[in-house]
């Protein structure tokens, strides 16, 4: 009976006080959230690229002076903005995969490679600028395809290439989601770094 009482006392004495357990639990929650967000960044980059590169659509159109219809295709690589979009989102997806693995390893083994993890905020900001610019340029071209521009005589094409425009619109929407994820990652990283600054 006395032995049981002594062992329980030792357990209570060995346990960390509640004020030290709370920050550790909070840090674990932030680390888990970072892993989830980085995986979502990888998934959004992958989905955006796959949807964009599969957006090809071919139509048989009448051309003045030719008595028969000729095939005309709408493909993403006909537009430099869409090529840049695919390149930027490919980089975002690859970056998301690599940083997910690093963050997962840091979650399993807390305290490892702190310098590498602290540099993520720099790359997150750079990638946010790249993905946001790619989303903006792709969205601008997609809007012209949808609405046209009568002032410069740019005709709309989405009434003819509906499936192509749906793919492009879905891809840009997913990339916008990826941009929001990057904003959240930057805020999370800044919050984590601010906690390390001595008061």
Encode pLDDT of 49-93 as tens digits.
999 999 888 887 777 777 777 788 888 888 999 999 999 999 999
Of 188, 63, 168, 65, give the one whose Cα is nearest residue 128.
Answer: 188
- Weakest-pLDDT range from 2-11, 137-146, 154-163: 2-11
- The tokens 């005589």 sit on which residue? 153
- pTM for the complete prediction? 0.79
To which H or E segment does residue 12 belong? Answer: helix 2-14
Helix 162-196 and helix 120-147, axial crossing angle in degrees, nearest 10: 160
pLDDT of residue 10: 52
Residue 1 has pLDDT above 50, yes or no: no
Q: How confident is the model at residue 152 (pLDDT cuts 50, 70, 90)?
A: confident
3-state secondary structure of 139: helix
Distance CA 184, CA 164 (A): 31
Spatial separation of the C-alpha atoms in residues 43 and 74, rounded to whole Å: 26
**Alpha helix positions (H), 109-161:** 114-118, 120-147
pLDDT for the residue 32: 87
Higher pLDDT residue, 110 or 54? 54
Give the residue, 105 or 175, on which the prediction is more confident. Answer: 175
Which pLDDT score, from 0 to 100, does residue 51 have? Answer: 95
pLDDT-based confidence at 108, cuts 50/70/90?
Answer: confident
Q: What is the mean pLDDT of the chain?
A: 82
Share of the chain above pLDDT 90, in %: 44
Spatial contact of 137 and 81, defined as CB atoms under 8 Å apart? yes
Q: State both tokens at 1.
A: 């009976």
More confident residue, 2 or 194: 194
Percent of the chain at pLDDT above 70?
A: 77
Read off the pLDDT of each residue in 164-171 and give the average, rounded to a whole number: 93
Whole-number Cα distances in Å, 6 to 9, 14, 16, 17: 5, 12, 18, 19
Would you say 130 and 188 are in contact if contact means Cβ atoms under 8 Å apart?
A: no
DSSP 79: S
Per-residue pLDDT, 21: 56
What is the reported pLDDT for 17?
A: 53
């Amino acid at each position: 009976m006395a032995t049981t009482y002594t062992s329980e006392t030792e357990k209570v004495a060995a346990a960390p006080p509640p004020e030290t357990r709370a920050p550790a639990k909070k840090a674990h929650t932030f680390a888990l959230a970072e892993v989830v967000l980085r995986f979502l960044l990888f998934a959004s980059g992958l989905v955006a690229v796959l949807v964009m590169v599969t957006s090809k659509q071919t139509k048989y159109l009448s051309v003045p002076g030719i008595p028969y219809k000729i095939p005309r295709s709408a493909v993403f690589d006909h537009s430099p903005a869409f090529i840049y979009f695919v390149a930027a989102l490919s980089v975002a997806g690859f970056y998301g995969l690599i940083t997910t693995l690093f963050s997962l390893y840091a979650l399993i083994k807390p305290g490892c490679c702190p310098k590498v993890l602290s540099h993520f905020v720099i790359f997150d900001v750079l990638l946010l600028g790249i993905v946001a610019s790619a989303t903006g340029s792709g969205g601008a071209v997609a809007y012209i395809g949808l609405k046209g521009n009568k002032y410069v005589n740019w005709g709309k094409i989405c009434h003819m290439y509906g499936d192509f425009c749906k793919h492009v619109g879905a891809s840009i929407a997913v990339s916008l989601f990826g941009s929001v994820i990057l904003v959240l990652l930057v805020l999370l990283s800044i919050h984590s770094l601010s906690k390390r600054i001595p008061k």
